[in-house]
Structure 1
Amino acid sequence: MRILLLGGTGEARELAHVLSGERGLEIVSSLAGRVADPVNPGGQVRVGGFGGVDGLRDWLAGNRIELVVDATHPFAATMTEHAARATADLGLPMLRLNRPGWTAGPGDRWLRVPDMNSAAAVSADTGSRILLTIGRQGVGAFAGYTKPWFLIRAIDPPESTLPPRHELLLARGPFTVAAEAELLDRHRIEVLVTKDSGGDATAAKLVAARDKGIPVVIVDRPSAPAGLVEVSSVTAVHTWVTEYAAAKGNRPAEA
């Protein structure tokens, strides 16, 4: 069974390793190519876009893909939508790994907003020294705010217009709570802005902000297409895929 694994996340790399070890499964990992130096998941990998829904549909058919697993970032809404439409057109099954989002706990000062434009407005009203941990996409929403100072942390430099008062910090997580706390202190950060990515890899900043009483502006996730089959862990994906493959006769049910 040939499976397209839409990746770019830590879970996708783990899935590529786990599923490639299963007899009867051939995994093709797809990376969007938005990071200049991505962490390679190993195995068969393709990099770059598909050319929209039509291009993806043609690629799936031409490469005899029998199942699509979407393990992209929770904010990769366009890719998820294109995959849902292309698989529906071809009558192919699609499984989405949707890691749980973050939940506020005692001491957290979270301000939830629906989109990046709202995040820019709320953060500018909340403090004058702002740490942006939203990746390189979406930074343009803050460009028109001239009074606050922004520390922009991303893996690669943003390509959009940047706010006039800023410093760019290129870094790749995961980060420790101690390192995040030191960063907040060193730059005298008053507001943290992030997306509700979920997971442990970048959660340390939330702990550090809580410990220091710093408000966090959190952008809510985009809505997923209706009707998708979703699971919340790598283990659940592995179980679903192997049971589906067994039912289709691609591998023994007891294996």
Structure 2
Amino acid sequence: MKLLLLAGTGEAQEVAKALAEKGIPAVASLAGATRAPKPMGLPTRVGGFGGDEGFARYLEAEGITAVLDATHPYAHRISNRSAEICRDKSVDYCQILRPEWVPGPGDRWTEVQREEDVAALVPEGAVVFLATGRQTLERFGNMGHAELICRQIDPPDRPFPFVNGRFLVGRPPFSVEEERELFQRLGVDWLVVKNAGGAAAMSKLVAARQLGVRVAMIVRPPQPEALKVASVAEALAWVDGL
């Protein structure tokens, strides 16, 4: 067996460490969105595969017999493509998909389908904290009536695309106390997030709840029809059963 780990999440880091400790032949793949990613503990490739045909060629050339997809829930194009090609090539495939966040008492969430839908929710002059990453920042171009603050891991390599916004650099994880202090200092009225799930990234939602900050929650895109597990332990059990 030789396994390809599609990485980019905390779960991928945990899986990679366990695979290395078990001595399972595996290679990790990162999309390259972060400039200085944490070492995976496995042989690691960075960058795309060159589309569907490139991914299929890679599986064959490297003798990949199983793919464990531990990408972000919003990397749905990668997941759907990978699941389909693995099915066509008779390569075992499994996706680690965290349970979604659900609102609790005190939460002030409004679900939206797309980033572009947030503008209709936000009043004139509101301070909006975008915790959605720089990859989709251009989709907020219709929010000229608000102040935008976009947090990203790496220092920006270009100016903010809109005159009404700025970047804020920060590397997770962040505690609830850190997020609450930050939101208070910035005067945040609205928090925009993707429903990524997971305990580590939930601190900003707890801070928003405590401060009464409104949340625009971007719902998840469609996921592949394929085998799914919800935890690292389940994923490793799947690998052990191959």
The percentage of counterpart residues that share the same residue type is 38
How much has 1:152 moved relative to structure 2?
0.9
For residues 157 and 192 of structure 2, what CA distance do their matches in structure 1 show? 16
Structure 2 residue aligned with 1:49:
48
Q: Secondary structure, in 3 states, of the residue corresponding to 1:163? A: coil
- Counterparts in 2 of 1:152 and 1:179: CA distance versus 1, 3 Å: same
Of 124-133 and 71-80, more deviation after overlay is shown by 124-133
How many Å separate the matches in 1 of 2:132 and 2:173? Answer: 14
Counterpart-to-counterpart distance in 2, 1:133 and 1:205: 9
Q: So what's the TM-score if we normalise by structure 1?
A: 0.90
Q: Distance in 2 between matches of 1:179 and 1:200?
A: 15
Corresponding pairs, count:
241
Instruction: Report deviation, 1:127.
Output: 6.5
**Residue matched to 2:4:** 4
Helix, strand or coil at the partner of 1:193: strand
After superposing the two structures, state which structure 1 stretch, 180-189 or 110-119, moved more: 110-119
Deviations 1:15-66 (A, max 9, x none): 011122225x201000001111111211211111001111000000000001
Moved more, 111-120 or 1-10: 111-120
d(CA) in 1 for partners of 2:115 and 2:84?
25
Please list, as runs of the form range in 1=range in 2, the aligned pairs for 1:124-203 lying within 5 A after superposition. 124-125=122-123, 128-156=126-154, 157=156, 162-203=161-202
Give CA-to-partner distance per residue, 1:45-102, whole Å, 9 cap, x none: 1111001111000000000001000000010011112211221221111000001111
Match of 2:70 in 1: 71
Q: Is the partner of 1:141 in helix, strand or coil?
A: helix
Q: 1:213 to 1:197 in 2, by over 3 A?
A: same
2:30 matches 1:31: yes
Gaps of 5+ in 1: 245-255
AA in 2 matched with 1:208: A
- Which residue does the alignment assign to 2:210? 211
One-letter amino acid of the structure 1 residue matched with residue 111 of structure 2: R
Secondary structure class of the residue paired with 1:21: helix
Give the secondary structure class of the aligned counterpart of 1:137: helix
Paired residue type of 1:82: R
- Where does structure 2 lack aligned partners over 5 or more consecutive residues? none
Corresponding residue of 2:227: 229
SS in 2 for 1:138: helix
Q: Within 1, Cα distance between the matches of 2:160 and 2:176? A: 30
**Counterpart for residue 253 of structure 1:** none
The reply to whether residue 239 of structure 1 matches residue 221 of structure 2 is no
Shift of 1:161: 6.5
CA distance in 2, matches of 1:51, 1:120: 35
Query: 1:175-219: CA deviations, max 9, x gaps?
Result: 011111111111111000010011122211101110111110010
* Aligned residue runs from structure 1 range 82-101, under 5 A: 82-101=81-100
* Displacement after TM superposition at 1:120 (Å): 3.7
CA separation of 1:86 and 1:158: change in aligned 2, threshold 3 A: farther
**Separation in 1, partners of 2:216, 2:108:** 9
Structure 1 position 166, deviation (Å) = 1.2
State the alpha-carbon separation in 2 of the partners of residues 87 and 160 from structure 1: 40
1:153 maps to a residue whose letter is R
User: For the Cα contact (< 8 Å) 2:123–2:146, is it kept in 1?
Assistant: no
Structure 2 counterpart SS, 1:203: helix
Say which SS state the counterpart of residue 202 (structure 1) adopts. Answer: helix
Task: Give 4+ residue runs of structure 1 displaced > 6 Å after superposition.
Answer: 158-161
| Aligned mates of 1:120, 1:68 — CA distance in 2 | 38
